[in-house]
Amino acid sequence: MKQNDLVIEPASDSDLPALVALWGLCNLVVDYNDPLGDIAFARGKTNSDVLIGRFEGVVVASVMVGHDGHRGWLWYVAVDPSAQRQGLGGQIVRGGEDWLRKRGVRKAMLLIRDTNTPVRKFYERIGYEAVPRTVMQRWL
C-alpha cells in the first residue's frame, strides 16, 4: 500500500455497518458506548464529523473529529488490524488534523484508555505527547 492510497472523506449512511465493524475489530467499543449513537451525534455538524479512510473502496480507517472552539479532539481513531503498520494510522490522524486546521483550531487532543497501552507508542511516533492533566467526568 502506498502512502497516497487512502481516500479520506466524511462517513455516509452506507458506511455505517463497516465503520461499526471496524471499531469492533479495533476494540474501540465498550459496553457503555453506543457507536451508532456516537456517529449520529457527531456526523456532519459544524464542529464535528466522522471521517473514514478507504483503500480500494473498502473502509479501513476512521477518525471522529470535533472541537470546542479552542481545542480539537480526535476519537475512534482506527485502522483495520490487517492493514496496520503501513502508514494508514498517520494518514487518518492527519486527515482529522487537517479537518481541524480548516476550522482554525490549532491544537489536537485525544484520550487513550489506560488499557490501550500499545497505541501510546504510535501517537508518540507521529508527534503527540502526554500532558499532565486530570480528566474528570460526570455521567448526565
Element (DSSP H or E) covering residue 53? strand 48-55
Contact 49, 65 (CB under 8 A): yes
- What's the pLDDT tens digit per position in 45-89? 999 999 999 998 999 999 999 999 889 999 999 999 999 999 999
Per-residue model confidence (pLDDT) at position 1: 43
Residue 50 grid coordinates: 466522522
Mean pLDDT score, 5-14: 94
3-class state of residue 13 by DSSP: helix
Backbone angles phi, psi at 57, to 5 degrees: 85, -5
How crowded is residue 59: how many other Cβ atoms within 10 Å of its Cβ?
Answer: 20
Taking CA 126 as the corner, what is the angle to CA 124 and CA 132, rounded to the nearest 5 degrees?
A: 35
Mean pLDDT score, 39-43: 96
User: Taking the domain 3-111, which CATH number applies?
Assistant: 3.40.630.30
- What's the pLDDT tens digit per position in 86-121? 999 999 999 999 999 999 999 999 998 777 788 988
Q: Among candidates 64, 39, 66, which has minimal Cα distance to 51?
A: 64
